[in-house]
Amino acid sequence: EPEVTQTPSHQVTQMGQEVILRCVPISNHLYFYWYRQILGQKVEFLVSFYNNEISEKSEIFDDQFSVERPDGSNFTLKIRSTKLEDSAMYFCASSDDEQYFGPGTRLTVT
Amino acid sequence: GENVEQHPSTLSVQEGDSAVIKCTYSDSASNYFPWYKQELGKGPQLIIDIRSNVGEKKDQRIAVTLNKTAKHFSLHITETQPEDSAVYFCAAQAITGGGNKLTFGTGTQLKVEL
Protein backbone atom coordinates (compact mmCIF):
# COMPACT_ATOMS: atom_id res chain seq x y z
CA GLU A 1 0.00 0.00 0.00
CA PRO A 2 1.51 3.38 -0.96
CA GLU A 3 2.41 5.67 1.91
CA VAL A 4 3.89 9.08 2.66
CA THR A 5 7.46 8.92 3.91
CA GLN A 6 9.43 11.56 5.81
CA THR A 7 13.09 12.07 6.67
CA PRO A 8 14.68 12.47 9.09
CA SER A 9 12.57 10.94 11.85
CA HIS A 10 14.27 13.19 14.41
CA GLN A 11 16.23 16.41 13.88
CA VAL A 12 18.03 18.31 16.60
CA THR A 13 19.24 21.79 15.77
CA GLN A 14 20.46 24.89 17.50
CA MET A 15 18.41 28.09 17.63
CA GLY A 16 19.06 30.24 14.57
CA GLN A 17 20.07 27.35 12.33
CA GLU A 18 18.31 26.38 9.12
CA VAL A 19 16.59 23.02 8.79
CA ILE A 20 15.07 21.21 5.84
CA LEU A 21 12.45 18.54 6.43
CA ARG A 22 11.86 16.14 3.59
CA CYS A 23 8.80 14.26 2.42
CA VAL A 24 7.99 11.86 -0.38
CA PRO A 25 4.24 12.07 -1.04
CA ILE A 26 2.17 9.26 -2.53
CA SER A 27 3.13 9.15 -6.18
CA ASN A 28 -0.16 9.95 -7.93
CA HIS A 29 -1.25 12.63 -5.46
CA LEU A 30 -1.43 16.24 -6.58
CA TYR A 31 -1.97 18.12 -3.31
CA PHE A 32 0.69 18.37 -0.62
CA TYR A 33 0.55 19.73 2.92
CA TRP A 34 2.61 20.43 5.99
CA TYR A 35 1.12 20.34 9.48
CA ARG A 36 2.73 20.57 12.87
CA GLN A 37 1.86 19.22 16.30
CA ILE A 38 3.36 20.67 19.44
CA LEU A 39 3.71 17.99 22.12
CA GLY A 40 0.32 17.07 23.59
CA GLN A 41 -1.61 19.48 21.39
CA LYS A 42 -3.72 19.22 18.27
CA VAL A 43 -2.47 19.04 14.71
CA GLU A 44 -2.22 22.50 13.11
CA PHE A 45 -2.22 23.34 9.41
CA LEU A 46 0.82 25.16 8.05
CA VAL A 47 0.61 25.19 4.27
CA SER A 48 -0.89 23.51 1.24
CA PHE A 49 0.77 23.21 -2.17
CA TYR A 50 -0.70 22.45 -5.57
CA ASN A 51 0.56 22.84 -9.12
CA ASN A 52 3.95 24.05 -7.91
CA GLU A 53 2.65 26.89 -5.82
CA ILE A 54 1.27 27.57 -2.34
CA SER A 55 -2.52 27.40 -2.39
CA GLU A 56 -3.10 28.31 1.25
CA LYS A 57 -1.03 29.07 4.33
CA SER A 58 -1.76 29.72 7.98
CA GLU A 59 -0.57 32.62 10.13
CA ILE A 60 2.05 30.27 11.58
CA PHE A 61 3.67 30.00 8.13
CA ASP A 62 5.58 33.28 8.22
CA ASP A 63 8.60 34.45 6.23
CA GLN A 64 10.95 32.04 7.96
CA PHE A 65 9.14 29.09 6.40
CA SER A 66 9.24 28.00 2.77
CA VAL A 67 8.21 24.94 0.78
CA GLU A 68 9.54 23.48 -2.40
CA ARG A 69 9.00 20.57 -4.73
CA PRO A 70 12.54 20.32 -6.10
CA ASP A 71 11.87 17.30 -8.29
CA GLY A 72 9.05 14.95 -9.20
CA SER A 73 9.03 13.09 -5.93
CA ASN A 74 10.21 15.22 -2.99
CA PHE A 75 8.39 17.94 -1.08
CA THR A 76 10.41 19.95 1.44
CA LEU A 77 9.76 22.36 4.31
CA LYS A 78 12.56 24.78 5.12
CA ILE A 79 12.76 26.77 8.34
CA ARG A 80 15.33 29.50 7.80
CA SER A 81 16.23 30.52 11.35
CA THR A 82 14.80 28.15 13.92
CA LYS A 83 13.35 29.33 17.23
CA LEU A 84 12.77 27.36 20.42
CA GLU A 85 9.01 27.48 19.76
CA ASP A 86 9.49 25.67 16.42
CA SER A 87 10.10 22.47 18.40
CA ALA A 88 7.27 20.14 17.35
CA MET A 89 6.35 17.13 15.23
CA TYR A 90 6.06 18.13 11.59
CA PHE A 91 3.78 16.02 9.42
CA CYS A 92 3.66 15.94 5.67
CA ALA A 93 0.42 14.86 4.00
CA SER A 94 -0.67 14.30 0.44
CA SER A 95 -4.04 13.84 -1.19
CA ASP A 96 -5.90 13.15 -4.32
CA ASP A 97 -9.08 13.31 -2.25
CA GLU A 98 -8.52 12.08 1.35
CA GLN A 99 -5.37 13.31 3.09
CA TYR A 100 -2.79 10.71 4.10
CA PHE A 101 -0.14 11.60 6.63
CA GLY A 102 3.48 10.60 6.96
CA PRO A 103 5.06 9.37 10.20
CA GLY A 104 6.42 12.82 11.04
CA THR A 105 9.74 14.47 11.84
CA ARG A 106 10.37 15.40 15.44
CA LEU A 107 12.19 18.75 15.41
CA THR A 108 13.97 19.74 18.59
CA VAL A 109 15.44 23.25 18.74
CA THR A 110 17.94 23.81 21.56
CA GLY B 1 -12.08 30.59 10.22
CA GLU B 2 -13.18 27.11 11.15
CA ASN B 3 -13.13 26.02 14.80
CA VAL B 4 -13.56 22.37 15.80
CA GLU B 5 -14.36 21.37 19.37
CA GLN B 6 -13.95 17.75 20.51
CA HIS B 7 -15.17 15.91 23.62
CA PRO B 8 -14.25 14.14 25.77
CA SER B 9 -10.51 14.72 26.06
CA THR B 10 -10.03 11.31 27.68
CA LEU B 11 -12.25 8.24 27.54
CA SER B 12 -11.75 4.97 29.35
CA VAL B 13 -13.91 1.95 28.47
CA GLN B 14 -13.90 -1.74 29.24
CA GLU B 15 -13.01 -4.12 26.42
CA GLY B 16 -16.15 -4.98 24.48
CA ASP B 17 -17.97 -1.77 25.39
CA SER B 18 -18.77 1.03 22.94
CA ALA B 19 -16.99 4.37 22.74
CA VAL B 20 -18.42 7.61 21.42
CA ILE B 21 -16.46 10.77 20.61
CA LYS B 22 -18.24 13.98 19.64
CA CYS B 23 -17.16 17.02 17.64
CA THR B 24 -18.76 20.31 16.71
CA TYR B 25 -17.68 22.71 13.98
CA SER B 26 -18.41 26.34 13.31
CA ASP B 27 -18.09 26.92 9.55
CA SER B 28 -21.21 25.97 7.62
CA ALA B 29 -19.06 25.75 4.46
CA SER B 30 -17.29 22.65 5.84
CA ASN B 31 -18.43 19.60 3.90
CA TYR B 32 -15.92 16.85 4.62
CA PHE B 33 -15.25 15.33 8.05
CA PRO B 34 -12.49 12.74 8.50
CA TRP B 35 -11.45 10.92 11.66
CA TYR B 36 -7.84 10.05 12.37
CA LYS B 37 -6.27 7.62 14.84
CA GLN B 38 -2.84 8.48 16.17
CA GLU B 39 -0.75 5.92 17.98
CA LEU B 40 2.21 6.98 20.08
CA GLY B 41 5.07 8.28 17.96
CA LYS B 42 3.21 7.86 14.68
CA GLY B 43 1.39 10.07 12.21
CA PRO B 44 -2.40 10.40 12.07
CA GLN B 45 -4.03 7.48 10.27
CA LEU B 46 -7.31 8.02 8.44
CA ILE B 47 -9.89 5.55 9.76
CA ILE B 48 -13.19 6.82 8.40
CA ASP B 49 -14.67 9.94 6.85
CA ILE B 50 -18.06 11.36 5.97
CA ARG B 51 -19.23 13.97 3.50
CA SER B 52 -22.02 16.44 3.99
CA ASN B 53 -24.46 14.70 1.67
CA VAL B 54 -24.50 11.65 3.96
CA GLY B 55 -25.89 11.33 7.49
CA GLU B 56 -24.16 8.13 8.57
CA LYS B 57 -21.38 5.84 7.41
CA LYS B 58 -20.26 2.52 8.83
CA ASP B 59 -17.15 0.40 8.37
CA GLN B 60 -17.13 -2.79 10.45
CA ARG B 61 -16.88 -1.69 14.12
CA ILE B 62 -16.57 2.00 13.32
CA ALA B 63 -19.37 4.38 12.39
CA VAL B 64 -19.64 8.12 11.97
CA THR B 65 -22.77 10.27 12.08
CA LEU B 66 -23.21 13.82 10.87
CA ASN B 67 -25.86 16.39 11.75
CA LYS B 68 -25.32 19.36 9.43
CA THR B 69 -28.11 21.42 10.95
CA ALA B 70 -26.57 21.22 14.42
CA LYS B 71 -23.00 21.25 13.04
CA HIS B 72 -21.87 18.18 14.91
CA PHE B 73 -20.51 14.77 14.06
CA SER B 74 -19.60 11.74 16.11
CA LEU B 75 -17.41 8.65 15.99
CA HIS B 76 -18.80 5.39 17.35
CA ILE B 77 -16.59 2.38 18.03
CA THR B 78 -18.38 -0.82 19.02
CA GLU B 79 -16.91 -3.94 20.64
CA THR B 80 -13.76 -2.07 21.60
CA GLN B 81 -10.47 -3.94 21.73
CA PRO B 82 -7.16 -3.06 23.41
CA GLU B 83 -5.66 -2.17 20.02
CA ASP B 84 -8.24 0.61 19.71
CA SER B 85 -6.35 2.47 22.45
CA ALA B 86 -4.94 5.64 20.83
CA VAL B 87 -5.63 9.34 20.38
CA TYR B 88 -8.50 10.07 18.01
CA PHE B 89 -8.82 13.37 16.16
CA CYS B 90 -11.80 14.67 14.28
CA ALA B 91 -11.30 17.23 11.52
CA ALA B 92 -13.31 19.44 9.22
CA GLN B 93 -12.60 20.67 5.73
CA ALA B 94 -14.30 23.03 3.31
CA ILE B 95 -13.59 21.69 -0.15
CA THR B 96 -13.69 24.97 -2.05
CA GLY B 97 -11.03 24.41 -4.68
CA GLY B 98 -8.58 26.35 -2.56
CA GLY B 99 -6.14 24.99 -0.02
CA ASN B 100 -8.35 22.17 1.32
CA LYS B 101 -6.80 22.51 4.75
CA LEU B 102 -7.98 20.29 7.59
CA THR B 103 -8.92 21.92 10.89
CA PHE B 104 -8.45 19.42 13.70
CA GLY B 105 -10.15 18.97 17.03
CA THR B 106 -8.13 18.76 20.24
CA GLY B 107 -8.08 14.97 20.35
CA THR B 108 -9.52 12.22 22.56
CA GLN B 109 -7.25 9.80 24.38
CA LEU B 110 -9.13 6.48 24.28
CA LYS B 111 -8.04 3.76 26.66
CA VAL B 112 -9.57 0.30 26.37
CA GLU B 113 -9.07 -1.65 29.54
CA LEU B 114 -9.02 -5.45 29.82
pLDDT digits (tens, 9 = 90+) for A3-55: 999 999 999 999 999 999 999 999 989 999 999 999 988 999 999 999 899 99
Task: State how far the Cα of A38 lies from the Cα of A84, in Å rounded to an integer.
Answer: 12
CB B45 within 8 A of CB B37: yes
Q: Chain A contacts of B42, Cβ < 8 Å?
A: 103-104
In single-letter form, the type of residue at position A61 comes to F
What backbone torsions phi and psi does residue B84 show, to the nearest 5 degrees? -80, -10
A3 CB near a chain B CB, below 8 Å? no
Task: State how far the Cα of A108 lies from the Cα of B3, in Å rounded to an integer.
Answer: 28
Give the model confidence (pLDDT) of A39-49 as tens digits: 988 999 999 99
B1 CB near a chain A CB, below 8 Å? no
Give me the pLDDT at residue B97, please.
57
Q: What is the distance in angstroms between the Cα of A22 and the nearest Cα belonging to chain B?
A: 15
Q: Chain B contacts of A45, Cβ < 8 Å?
A: 101-103
- DSSP label of B93: B
Query: Measured in whole angstroms, how far is the alpha carbon of residue A99 from the centre of its chain?
Result: 14
Question: Of all residues in chain A, what percent carry a pLDDT higher than 70?
Answer: 100
Give me the pLDDT at residue A69, please.
92
Give the model confidence (pLDDT) of B11-50 as tens digits: 999 999 999 999 999 999 999 999 999 998 889 999 999 9
Give me the pLDDT at residue B96, please.
64
Give the model confidence (pLDDT) of A71-86 as tens digits: 878 999 999 999 999 9
Give me the pLDDT at residue B98, please.
64
Q: Chain A contacts of B49, Cβ < 8 Å?
A: 98
